Chains A and B, each alone.
Chain A
């Protein structure tokens, strides 16, 4: 069996360059970043929704409602942006 030197393997991957590449792509393609942040935020919101429903909602529905709320918030922010910077649209 071939032995792998983990440290060498990580260095070969050029970890720092990889992270910077991901960061650079996130800045260029904002949709994946937005989806990631949405899901992260939902980690906080969904349990709150679930707790507030007093068991009438499934856990899955609480997650969906959390995401729906965040999408709605995103739309509100978008509409405010249209109102204040209409020339961009």
Chain B
């Protein structure tokens, strides 16, 4: 939010150190015993009430029961054919049963990982004793679980913050490592846009705060994330619902095919038993994606949580994959947040020492990285503070004045800020002012301003009363590798728009250097919402980050709004994701996770349907040998029984074989939609057709050799 202003001081925001990969799983997730629990859960999930939620696997379960009946009595539906039908039917029953169990196992593993993640998140929440401030001002010690929205609590050094809230009084350092993994304490104070909200479970390590609770018990950010990653109350996302309908339609079509098949088979003089019909049905319906669908979704939520991002709904994570436009702040997202003073450019015949001295005077109370870098550069050039600091008054930056500075003890006013703002300041002081001097706003000033802007830097003018001393060149450094990331996004069809409060020359230079598709210079926070609405009007999905109260409407308007954890409660409430690391660049990572989720789902759906086609052409010629389809048995499969068993064994084994892919996701490649489609059709489509033929042939040879069929 502050980046909308050219010299906005972004408060020191400690970023988690080290590469992001090393910060994954913070807090640490305990996956011990995950697979043992998943095996147990796979059997618990055989409960028909749970199975009915997955139409494909429910059908397999019903088929298993029917084949179990024909195993007990092979003549149940008429005289049985072939030798030892009981053993054949029994084998089909066992394979079908394990197909269902494997599918349940995939879901249980994903849920288990989510539950482990939830347990880790839950460990940050503990029932603590809170000092609740009663209406009469007295303090009562209550359990943190009894706190409600609007309650006020007092926390002192050493206390755990009992619930999410907004600081209403005090200044204190807070250790947020429990949720962010970052050990450096964060300063929290009232009235600040970026440091006034606190999260339950974090610990205050110095001083004391008065906090107004902003969430009811069980409805905080961590609670919502726990519910999401646990998957217990997980509702299907729109894409999952669409895919469920597709799978149900395919299943229905194949049910009709199988129901009508006995009549054709009898006409072709190749009667087919009920067990074979059920085996054929299971081989044809998309069991692979049916068994892995929920695992893919749960794993997607898990990946977001691993990136220290709290998503309030699965819909938001999925929407990331469909994002067309990214609206990004310049400062902190595209450029390194801490702009540093690179050079002083004196104007109006002032010397370098003079401008350094005035710049130092204007910055002694400025604690922002920019202010400190100005002080360092001025001192390097030999400038000294020639007044009593205790008698001077620091003037803080504000979005309205767009400048900051110092009122010196002798009544003089040293200021630094946006060039336009300083020009205005000088004019106001020149009107009949004793310090006014003609010729301050000279073409020389504009030349220096343009020179700095053309370098992509932020020009700050420096003035003492009615006299402009020159320009400070604040160097803005584009983050390394950001251009390549924007190139990747462009190839994926994602458009990037940079918003900055800088002038249009600086903005265009940075935009060119970073490789963004579009930029809006001298932007106000209101411009963000206008940009989002304009893009949405064109049917695009927009993602943005923000941290201030004035970002809240835009965060709510965006399809994916990512609020920084250091941001205000209003921003966090409006957004559908909260980044615990408060790293604006992570928006790009979140988009990649969303796309990976959709690509994984698409790839496995393609593979599953391609598998079904292959199995169909492997089984049908062998079943209908009497109808002279033997010539289509190109693989020379041994018999009806062997091909049915081979197809079912492959069908069952491919589910656990694909669990790792479902959980980790298909490797993300920054390609266009067409390139991705071609690649996926080649790998998962063609691969999905070829793999079953090879696998079925191998299994057929083995089971024939061991005499199973």
- By a CB distance below 8 angstroms, the chain A residues around B75 are 58, 61
Docked complex: A65-89 residues within 8 A CB-CB of B: 65, 68, 71-72, 75-76, 78-80, 82-83, 86-87, 89
Q: Which residues from A are CB-within-8-Å of B58?
A: 78
B255 close to A72 (CB less than 8 A): yes
Q: Are A72 and B252 in contact (CB under 8 A)?
A: no
Nearest-neighbour CB distance to chain B for A35, whole angstroms, equals: 13
User: B52 near A75 (CB under 8 angstroms)?
Assistant: no
Taking a contact as CB atoms under 8 Å apart, the answer to whether B252 and A76 are in contact is yes
Among A60, A65, A76, A79, max chain B CB count under 10 A is at: A79
* A37 CB-CB contact with B under 8 Å: no
Shortest distance from the beta carbon of B252 to any chain A beta carbon, whole Å: 4
In-complex Cβ contact of A68 among B77, B236, B242, B245 (8 A): B77
* Chain B 37-70 interface 0/1 with A at a Cβ cutoff of 8 Å (1 = within): 0000000000000001111001100100010010
Contacts of B52 in A (CB 8 A): 78, 89
Q: Across the interface, which residues of A come within 8 angstroms of B255, CB to CB?
A: 72, 75-76, 79
State how many angstroms separate the Cβ of B381 from the closest Cβ of chain A: 68
Cβ–Cβ contact B78 & A83, under 8 A: no
Report the Cα distance A65→B242, complex, angstroms.
34
| Bound: A75/B244 CA distance, A | 16
A79 CB contact (under 8 Å) in B55, B66, B78, B236: B55
Q: How far is the CB of A19 from chain B (nearest CB, A)?
A: 27
A71 touches B248 (CB 8 A): no
Q: Do the beta carbons of A78 and B55 come within 8 Å of each other?
A: yes
Residues of B close to A86: CB separation below 8 A: 236, 241-242, 244-245, 248
Q: Does B241 contact A87, Cβ atoms closer than 8 Å?
A: yes
B235 to chain A, nearest CB (A): 8
Proximity bits, B216-257, A CB within 8 Å = 1, else 0:
000000000000000000011000011011001101100110
Number of A residues with CB within 8 Å of any CB on chain B = 20
Q: What is the interface of chain B mostly: helix, strand, loop, or mixed?
A: helix
With beta carbons under 8 angstroms apart, the residue of A61, A76, A79, A87 that contacts B76 is A61
Is there contact, CB below 8 Å, between B77 and A82? no
Q: Taking A68-B66, A75-B255, A80-B252 as contacts, is the C-beta distance between A89 and B78 under 8 angstroms?
A: no
Nearest B residue to A80 via CB reads B252
Q: How far is the CA of A63 from the CA of B259 in the complex (A)?
A: 17
Residues of A within 8 Å of B235, CB to CB, are 87
In the complex, the answer to whether A61 meets B78 with C-beta atoms within 8 Å is yes
Determine if A68 and B274 form an interchain contact, defined as CB atoms under 8 angstroms apart: yes
Contact mask A37-55 → B, CB, 8 Å, 1/0?
0000000000000000000
Contact A79 B248 (CB under 8 A): yes
Residue of A nearest to B274 (CB): A68
B interface residues, tally (CB under 8 Å): 27
Check A83/B62 contact, CB under 8 A, given A64-B77, A72-B259, A89-B53.
no
A82 contacts B274, C-beta separation under 8 Å: no
Across the interface, do A82 and B245 meet the contact criterion of CB distance under 8 Å?
yes
CA distance A62 to B85 in the complex (A): 20
Chain B neighbourhood of A71, CB < 8 A: 62, 66
Question: Which DSSP category, helix, strand, loop or mixed, fits chain A's interface?
Answer: helix
Given A61-B76, A71-B62, A89-B53, is A83 in contact with B248 using a C-beta cutoff of 8 Å? yes
Partner of A82, one of B78, B242, B244: B244
Asked if residues B77 and A61 are in contact (CB atoms below 8 Å), the reply is yes
Query: Which one of A57, A78, A87 contacts B78 once the chains associate, using CB atoms below 8 Å?
Result: A57
Tell me which residues across on chain A come within 8 A of B245, comparing CB atoms: 82-83, 86
Which B residues lie within 8 Å of A89 (CB)? 52-55, 236, 244
Shortest distance from the beta carbon of B274 to any chain A beta carbon, whole Å: 7
Residues of B contacting A76 with CB < 8 Å?
252, 255-256
Measured CB to CB, the nearest residue on chain B to A61 is B78
Q: In whole angstroms, what is the CA distance A44 to B66 when docked? A: 22
**Best-surrounded residue of B53, B245, B248, B255 (most CB of chain A within 10 A):** B248
Distance, CA A8 to CA B53, complexed state (A): 49
Q: Nearest Cβ distance between residue A68 and chain B, in whole angstroms? A: 7
Residues 14-28 of A at the B interface (beta carbon under 8 Å): none
Contacts of B251 in A (CB 8 A): 79
A68-B66, A68-B274, A89-B53 are known contacts. Are A83 and B76 too (CB-CB below 8 A)?
A: no
Instruction: Give chain B nearest CB distance to A83 CB in angstroms.
Output: 5
B128 to chain A, nearest CB (A): 39
CB distance from A58 to the nearest CB of B (A): 8
CA distance A71 to B62 in the complex (A): 9
Q: Does A87 contact B236, Cβ atoms closer than 8 Å?
A: yes
Among residues of B, the one whose C-beta sits closest to the C-beta of A57 is B78
CA–CA, A75 to B248, complex, Å?
11
Question: B residues touching A (Cβ–Cβ < 8 Å)?
Answer: 52-55, 58-59, 62, 66, 69, 75-78, 235-236, 241-242, 244-245, 248-249, 251-252, 255-256, 259, 274
Q: A82-B248, A86-B236 are in contact. List 17 more A-B contacts (CB 8 A).
A: A57-B78, A58-B75, A58-B78, A61-B78, A64-B69, A68-B66, A68-B274, A71-B66, A75-B62, A75-B255, A76-B252, A76-B255, A82-B55, A83-B248, A86-B244, A89-B54, A89-B244
- 6 A-B contact pairs sorted by A residue (CB < 8 Å): A57-B78, A64-B69, A68-B274, A75-B62, A87-B235, A87-B236
- Closest A-B pairs by Cβ, 8 of them: A82-B248, A79-B252, A86-B241, A82-B55, A64-B76, A89-B53, A83-B248, A61-B78
